[in-house]
Every structure is written in structure tokens, then in C-alpha cells.
């Protein structure tokens, strides 16, 4: 039996494998499923088994899983293509007879009524229909979604969004990775859904204030309409469809759909989630 991590050379997958190794899981019991073996050479050098599995090539997934594997199924990143991609993964995992399929879903699950959640909800239904033992890791927002854009914020002196006064219970990517590792190595997580989010929800005005304080310059939050947000994203070079989805996410934030603080994440990882201030400070040092 292996602990299998798909999309293992992505940001989340690498963190999960690092957590598994740090927690004492032998490298020989860990399998990294990747599209490109060359990108996983460092993992192979540490003794991690590398298997090829491309969500867009179902034939490659037939050998990605084995009977009894515990699998972390990291969702695809290509919005609009994920249902066929995820169908291929679920079918391969079902055919192999894996012992657990833990899927990185979306906060709120079936109650999330924004466009970005649609493919996650469809995937949960696929997994439920498969009959496989499952765990839904309904991840909230990664703080990195915001901190990765700090350069532009510092240059312009403002955070621009259509989220109104909505609050965001984000956590660091490393927190979500630790939760996945805990589920893969622990017991009693079968057929459960965890609503994973940070311990404290914050507003974008508060985010702007934290950035300004730590950067030593004035940063303000400028709320705009969803239409203005979408137009601004298109002007910045994003495709129209993606800009519409991101503007819709801000509408969801304004409605309070990303503000939930269930405590599931901190309970799974056995510590508080990473505070916003700490994540911003780390990003400013990079």
C-alpha cells in the first residue's frame, strides 16, 4: 500500500510530500503521480516512487494507482476542463480499487453557488457515485492567492477588488498540505467532508492595512463593482472567461461564502492556522 499524491510537482503536492517525509512516512511508501518524470527527479532521488499520470491522457492513469493505495487527488487547475479530467482520475482510481480517495474540493461543497465551485461539486458527485471510500478536503482560499500579487499592490498603492466588506478565512498553502498529510496517514477519515479554512477571517481593507504597515507605505483598499473588476482584469491581460470567474469569486466573498471558520483545519493539523500577518511578512521578504 502506497500513499499516492497526484499533481505531485505542483505547489500543493510538493508540500504534502514534504510533510509526509518530515512526519516519518518512509519514502518507499510514497508515490508521486506526475505528468513529467523529469520534474520529479528530486523526489525520485529521495526514494519516492514516481508514476506517470496525466489528467488529459486517461490511458496513462491506468497504471497510476494500485489496489489499497491511499490517494490524494489534487484538483486540476484548468477551469473548464476539469470535469473530463477528473472523470478520468476517478475512473482509474475505481478500477484500481484504491483504499481512499481524498479530493481537494472547495469550501462549502454543494452549498458553494459561485462558478468556480461548479466543477468541484461535479467531481464530488463523481466520487460519491464511484463507491470508493473518500474524504473531501474542502479547501478555502489560500492566502497566497493574495500575497502572490503583492508586487502590483505595492506599485499601485492599492488593493482593488469587488468583494465589498466581505471577509476571507484564508490559510497558508502549507496549512492545507499539512491537513492532507494528516488525512493520508491517519485513521477515521473515510467518507467525511472537512470544511477547511483559516482560524480568522479578514477583510480586504484589513489586508491592505497589514500590507501597508509591514511595507512601510500607505496601501488602501479600493472597492469596485464586479463589472469594473472584470474589465480591469481583462485590461491586465486575463482572458474574458477567467476574468468573469474571478469577478464572480469576489461576489461570493461579498456574500460571505468564504468567511466560514469551522475549525476543521486547525483540528486536523493540531495547531493554529498561519496568521495573515505572518504570510504577508514572508511574502514581502521573497
Kindly state whether residues 154 and 213 are assigned to the same domain. yes
Question: What's the whole-model pTM score?
Answer: 0.95
Domain containing residue 59: 3-139
Kindly state whether residues 106 and 208 are assigned to the same domain. no
Within a domain: 135: yes
Kindly state whether residues 277 and 155 are assigned to the same domain. yes
Kindly state whether residues 45 and 144 are assigned to the same domain. no
Kindly state whether residues 145 and 286 are assigned to the same domain. yes
User: Given this model, what pLDDT does residue 80 score?
Assistant: 83
User: Given this model, what pLDDT does residue 78 score?
Assistant: 86
Within a domain: 181: no
CATH of the domain at 240: 3.90.25.10
Within a domain: 43: yes
Within a domain: 190: no
CATH of the domain at 60: 3.40.50.720
User: Given this model, what pLDDT does residue 1 score?
Assistant: 76
Kindly state whether residues 20 and 7 are assigned to the same domain. yes
User: Given this model, what pLDDT does residue 236 score?
Assistant: 84
Kindly state whether residues 129 and 246 are assigned to the same domain. no
Within a domain: 180: no
What residues of the chain score a pLDDT lower than 70? none
How many structural domains does the chain have?
Answer: 2
- SS3 sequence, the chain? CCEEEECCCCHHHHHHHHHHHHCCCCHHHEEEEECCHHHHHHHHHCCCEEEECECCEHHHHCCCCCCCCEEEECCCCCCCCHHHHHHHHHHHHHHHCCCEEEEEEECCHHHCCCHHHHHHHHHHHHHHHHCCCEEEEEECCECHHHHCCHHHHHHHCEEEECCCCCEECCECHHHHHHHHHHHHHCCCCCCEEEEECCCCCEEHHHHHHHHHHHHCCCCEEEECCHHHHHHHHHHCCCCHHHHHHHHHHHHHHHCCCCCCCCCHHHHHHCCCCCCHHHHHHHHHHC
Within a domain: 89: yes
Amino acid at each position: 500500500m502506497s500513499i499516492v499524491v497526484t499533481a505531485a510537482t505542483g505547489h500543493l503536492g510538493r508540500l504534502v510530500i514534504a510533510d509526509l517525509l518530515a512526519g516519518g512516512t518512509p519514502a518507499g511508501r510514497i508515490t508521486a503521480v506526475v505528468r513529467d518524470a523529469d520534474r520529479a527527479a528530486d523526489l525520485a532521488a529521495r526514494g519516492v516512487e514516481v508514476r506517470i499520470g496525466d489528467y488529459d491522457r486517461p490511458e496513462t492513469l491506468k497504471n497510476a494507482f494500485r489496489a489499497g493505495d491511499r490517494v490524494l487527488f489534487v484538483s486540476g487547475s484548468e477551469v473548464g476542463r476539469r470535469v473530463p479530467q477528473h472523470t478520468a482520475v476517478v475512473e482509474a482510481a475505481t478500477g484500481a480499487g484504491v483504499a481512499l480517495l481524498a479530493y481537494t474540493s472547495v469550501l462549502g461543497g454543494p452549498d458553494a453557488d459561485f462558478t468556480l465551485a461548479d466543477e468541484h461539486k461535479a467531481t464530488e458527485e463523481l466520487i460519491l457515485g464511484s463507491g470508493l471510500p473518500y474524504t473531501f478536503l474542502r479547501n478555502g482560499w489560500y492566502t497566497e492567492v493574495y500575497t502572490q500579487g503583492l508586487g502590483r499592490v505595492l506599485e499601485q498603492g492599492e488593493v482593488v477588488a469587488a468583494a465589498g466588506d466581505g471577509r476571507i478565512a484564508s490559510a497558508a498553502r502549507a496549512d492545507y498540505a499539512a491537513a492532507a498529510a494528516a488525512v493520508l496517514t491517519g485513521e477515521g477519515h473515510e467518507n467525511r467532508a472537512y470544511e477547511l479554512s483559516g482560524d480568522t477571517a479578514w477583510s480586504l481593507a484589513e489586508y491592505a492595512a497589514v500590507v501597508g504597515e509591514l511595507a512601510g507605505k500607505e496601501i488602501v483598499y479600493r472597492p469596485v463593482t464586479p463589472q469594473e473588476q472584470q474589465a480591469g482584469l481583462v485590461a491586465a491581460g486575463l482572458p474574458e472567461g477567467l476574468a468573469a470567474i474571478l469577478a464572480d469569486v469576489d461576489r461570493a466573498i461579498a456574500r460571505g461564502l468564504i468567511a466560514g471558520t469551522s475549525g476543521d483545519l486547525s483540528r486536523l493539523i493540531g495547531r493554529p492556522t498561519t496568521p495573515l500577518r505572518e504570510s504577508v511578512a514572508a511574502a514581502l521578504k521573497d
